[in-house]
Every structure is written in structure tokens, then in C-alpha cells.
Amino acid sequence: MPPNPFRTRPRSQNNWVIDTVAQKIIIDTDPGIDDALAILFALAHPDLELIGLTTVYGNVPVSLATDNALRLVELADVDVPVAAGAAKPLCISPRGHADFVHGADGFGNSNLPASARQAVAPHAAQFIVEQIRAAPDAVTLVPVGPLTNIALALQLAPDICEKTRVVLMGGAVHEPGNCSPVAEANIWQDPHAAEAVFAANWHVTMVGLDATHKVTLDQGFFTGLAERSPRLGGFLNQIHQFYLDFYATRYGDRVCAAHDALAVAAVLRPDLLTFESGAIQVAVDGIAEGQTLFAKPGQFDHKAEWQGRPEHRAALNADCEGVKALLQDALSTLD
Ligand code: BDR
Ligand code: CA
């Protein structure tokens, strides 16, 4: 078995060092307003090569997630394949969609015209496997929705662990959840899939609410984007109006979290986040369903349920101004 290239590189406590020259990434997504920001950010940054978008139910049904992903690649005028994926969780009944957060169309009721483009034929899980196997070097998976497609890809081809690392948006260590007192939305939507992803022997970086709640964007941020990049920045400003209104109603301040974009930022600039290493498990039923449980290395090795769990890392904090500057610089290059 060839060594996982990401595992042969040095790691320090807070910064898992990797090369950042045009890393190949696949974003698995449920667009979604903050998903759109993450995708355009990834497309805009020269150190990333977005080799595919795979779609999943979550913020919207998977058919709409796919249409929205196609709208985004058409808007950005890039030739990035889109593969449609799971319509429902692995084991539990579907939870419903977050139209009160993202609008009925997933883009803040902006009613963007349909794209003429089509999704590619393979299911998202198959697409992920094919892309990883075909890539000469390692691929970074950036899931920013429920983890169903990633778990299905692992079922199809467990060997992908050898060539892949995962930097996902989801979960929480100390921060309360946003779907229950302990569960974050992407994990809560499919806890069994999330548990499969954290149980697998690859390196997962969990960018959860502890970090994403630190990176907040206000109207001034989006006004600036629209001024510097009238078409695509203007689109992001337009769709974020609904998202900002949701945050104002729910939390009191008209500022929103850059959840999904922070996962992309963690690929590019891990030095802008702080991490703690440890094993992660997901509660798959009961009142804590969807909770991510974090154990420091060795801490609970005397307990059977923690023995042999792979070591991952969880983001616990982020440099808000540093991430905003990273986003602004990249997005300002768009038209
Ligand atoms: C996550 O849930 C979705 O609503 C967002 O797009 C993000 O991926 C935040 O909990
Ligand atoms: Ca998302």
C-alpha cells in the first residue's frame, strides 16, 4: 500500500504543514448561501484546483443543490464538473431542509435563472472515487454539507483513504450546537455517515462551530465585495441579505458566520486557525444524536469504545480578520 502523502509530512501542534501549491480539492456541498461563498472563494484562489463539485441534500433537496452548483460554475464561467449525490441520509429519516436559513431556492430567494449545464453521469460517491484514483497526487475532500456522499465513497472504495485527506465543515467540541444543544447541522443531518468518516483511517480536520462562530461577516464585508467585484461579488452580496436577516432574527446581530468558507480557508491557511488533535466520535441516537465527541490522544484508551480510533484534529479558534482578508483578496480577483 503506498503511504498517504499527507501523513508523511511534518505536523506541529497547531499547524499541520502541507504544500499549498494548487492543491486538488473536491467540494461536497448543499448550496446554500455560505456554500456559494466557499465555492467562489475556492475558484478564485490560485493555490487551489477545484476538480469537482459533488452535491448532497441538506440546506436544500439534492436536485436543487445540483442545480445551484451548476448555476455557480456557469456564473463563474469555469469548466468544473458537478456530480449529483445522495438524496437522503444513510439510516435515519430525512430531517427536512433549511429554507428558513437559505431561502426556498437555497440562494436567499434570489431566483437565479436555471443553468443550461448538466451534471456528469456518475453518482457523487463514484465520482469522488474515480477522481481520487485518477489523480497523480493526493486529493483534499472538502465536505461542507451532510457527510452521506463521503461515507458512500468510503463504502465503495476504502482504499481512497490512502490518497485523501478531509477538511470538513461540521461538528463542535465546546460550542453549543445549532440544531440541538449539542449537534451541528451537517452532522445532525446524517450522524451515521459522519461517524463512518471519523472512524476511517484518514486524516480529518473538523472545522466546526468552535471556529466558524469566530469568523463573522457583516454588511460592510459584502458591500466591499460588490464594489470590488460587481458581478460575482454583487451576487454574493445579494444572496447574503437573506442569510444576514436570518442571523439578525435568530441571534440579534446582523452578522453571519462564514461556516463553509472557513473549511476552504483551513486548507489554504491552517495557520489562521488553532487546532487540537484527538479522536472524534459521533452520537448516532438518543438525546445527544449528532453530537461530535472529542478525546485527546490516549485520554480514553482504557475504554473499549475509544481504542484504535484514528487521530484527527478539530479547529477550536480562527483569526477572524486574517480569514476575512484572505477571502477579500481572493474574491476581489473575480469580475
Ligand atoms: C452548516 O449548515 C449549513 O446550513 C451551512 O451551509 C453549513 O454547512 C453550518 O452548521
Ligand atoms: Ca453547507
> What stretches of the chain show up as alpha helix (H) in DSSP?
33-44, 62-76, 99-102, 124-134, 148-156, 185-189, 191-199, 209-212, 219-228, 232-251, 259-268, 320-331
Ligand 2: centre distance to CA 58 (Å): 7
CB 212 within 8 A of CB 257: yes
Segment 95-150, tens digit of pLDDT: 999 999 999 999 999 999 999 999 999 999 999 999 999 999 999 999 999 999 99
Catalytic position from the list 102, 123, 259, 312: 259
Mean pLDDT of 61-84: 98
What's the gap in Å between 286 CA and the centre of ligand 2? 24
How remote is the CA of residue 335 from the centroid of ligand 2, in Å?
24
Q: Chain-centre distance of CA 234, in angstroms?
A: 23
User: What per-residue confidence (pLDDT) applies to 218?
Assistant: 98
Q: pTM (2 decimals)?
A: 0.93
End-to-end CA distance of the chain: 45
The length of the chain, given as a count of residues: 335
- C-alpha–C-alpha distance, residues 68 and 139, integer Å: 24
Per-residue pLDDT, 89: 98
Mean of pLDDT values over 5-28: 54
Task: Tell me if the bond preceding 233 is cis, omega within 30° of 0.
Answer: no
Residue 259 annotated among the catalytic residues of the structure = yes
Per-residue pLDDT at 22: 77
In the chain, % of residues over pLDDT 90: 93
pLDDT attached to residue 291: 98
Burial class (CB in 10 A: 0-12, 13-18, 19+), 62: buried
Q: What is the pLDDT of residue 71?
A: 98
Flag whether pLDDT at 4 surpasses 80.
no
The residue-averaged pLDDT of 322-331 equals 98
**Amino acid 72: pLDDT:** 98
28, 30, 34, 67: the active-site residue: 30
Helix (H) or strand (E) holding 166: strand 164-169
pLDDT band at 205 (very low <50, low <70, confident <90, very high): very high
Angle 62-76/232-251 helices, nearest 10 degrees?
Answer: 140
Give 1's pLDDT tier (boundaries 50, 70, 90).
very low
Residues in Cβ contact with 151 at an 8 Å cutoff, skipping those fewer than 6 apart: 90, 190, 192, 193, 194, 196, 197
Select from 37, 34, 36 the least CA-distant residue to 246. Answer: 34
Residue with CA at minimum distance from ligand 1 atom 2: 185
Q: Report whether pLDDT(10) > 70.
A: no
Residue the block writes with cell 466591499 = 224
Average pLDDT over residues 69-85: 98
DSSP assignment letter at 24: E
Mean pLDDT of 173-184: 98
For the chain, percent of residues with pLDDT exceeding 70: 94
Identify the pLDDT of residue 8. Answer: 32
Instruction: Check if the beta carbon of residue 207 is closer than 8 Å to that of residue 262.
Output: yes
Fold category of 25-331 in CATH: Inosine-uridine Nucleoside N-ribohydrolase; Chain A (3.90.245)
Q: Ligand 1 pocket test: which of 259, 262, 264, 292 has the largest number of ligand atoms within 8 Å of its C-beta?
A: 259
- The DSSP-derived string for 42-65 is HHH-TTEEEEEEEE-SSSS-HHHH
Phi, psi of 163 (to 5 degrees): -120, 15
**66 Cα–ligand 2 center, Å:** 13
169 lines ligand 1 (CB under 6 A): yes
Has 203 been annotated as catalytic?
no
CA distance readout (Å), 123 to 96, 149, 156: 22, 9, 11
Q: Are 24 and 163 in contact (CB under 8 A)?
A: no
